[in-house]
Amino acid sequence: MKINLTKMMMLLTMFLSIMTALSTSSMLMIWTMMEINLMSFLPIMTKSKSMKDQPMKYFIVQSLASSIMLMSMLMNSMTETPLGSSIMLMSSLLMKMGLLPFHMWVPMIMKPMTWENCFILMTMQKIVPTIIMSQMVGLKLMLMPMCLTMVMAPIMAIKQMSMKTIMAYSSISNSPWMIMSLMNSKSQFVTFFSIYTVINMMIIKKMKIMNFMFLNQVKTQSNPNKMSIIVNILSMSGMPPMIGFFPKWMILQSTMNFSLVIAMSMVTSSILSTFIYMKMISPILMITSMSKKTTMKKKWTENDLVVNTTGTILCLMMKSF
């Protein structure tokens, strides 16, 4: 087995920069770590042959957002106004995370990327901006962009056929859930982010193995693969009793105590997301295959069903908290 030392070094640098940003209280240090994180991710993007000008597009968007963020920090230090009321800081973080109205770069950049890079972009790259946004920006300022993101991202994904584009819009609509979970409590954020990462990892692993790029390819898959896709997709949409439902339920319960508008946007977003995912799996459920039925000789080696159905056990465990 070949080990790509460059990739390993860059991933290690990314991980260390995130850990440093989490453990410091200086805004300038956090900004520096975000830049190191960006510079570590660019070589990983350029490793894939399908990427032409995408790394440069990603670099331009992220460096512009970083420049606006640094400018907002300097302006606020000069005028001695709180950072929580800075629209410039919020705009830079919205651009970094790919939330509305600065969201169009996410599906555009993710479409030609490899599945592994898509996974990094949807999970690791969101941690530091999420923490800054939840701790530094006021809720009143974030209310409109977050509600718009949760409602509009699934609507824009309805007509998409590319799996990577659908996953990009899914990532955009899940970002406000991350921010709200961290505003509620750190344990909620860790729970939601861990489960979201595991579900994404299982879906992306399955997509890569099957070379599954478009929605119409789902009909050609074998029955175990179809079952795995159904379970993972339902879990991503937050359907009970799958594991993806319970962190969203916890966040919704906590959010209802201080903002009904965001809670209603969360419910609407989940309904629209479920509609998209059901459209994805409806060919599997509705259309029966005309090919000759054969008995399955190989045993089930998939852990997706086991992981996702642990949601019922989580429900029982939550009674004790």
pLDDT for 297 equals 45
Radius of gyration of the chain (CA): 20
State yes or no: cis peptide before 224, omega within 30 of 0.
Answer: no
pLDDT for 315 equals 60
pLDDT for 6 equals 79
Spatial separation of the C-alpha atoms in residues 310 and 315, rounded to whole Å: 9
H-type alpha helices, the chain: 5-23, 27-46, 54-79, 87-97, 105-110, 115-122, 127-136, 139-157, 163-184, 186-210, 223-237, 245-255, 260-286, 304-308, 311-318
pLDDT < 70: residue spans in the chain: 1-3, 48-51, 84, 218-223, 283-306, 309-321
Distance of CA 90 to the CA centre of its chain: 19
Output the six-digit token pair for 127: 């941690």
Output the six-digit token pair for 35: 């830049």
Spatial CA neighbour of 107 closest among 51, 41, 163: 163
Distance of CA 281 to the CA centre of its chain: 20
The pTM of the full predicted model, rounded to 2 decimals, is 0.84
pLDDT for 318 equals 58
Q: How many residues does the chain have?
A: 321
pLDDT for 298 equals 47
- End-to-end CA distance of the chain, in Å? 45
**Would you say 273 and 244 are in contact if contact means Cβ atoms under 8 Å apart?**
no
Q: Which residues pair with 214 in a beta bridge?
A: 162
| Cα atoms in the Cβ-side hemisphere of radius 13 Å centred on 60 | 8
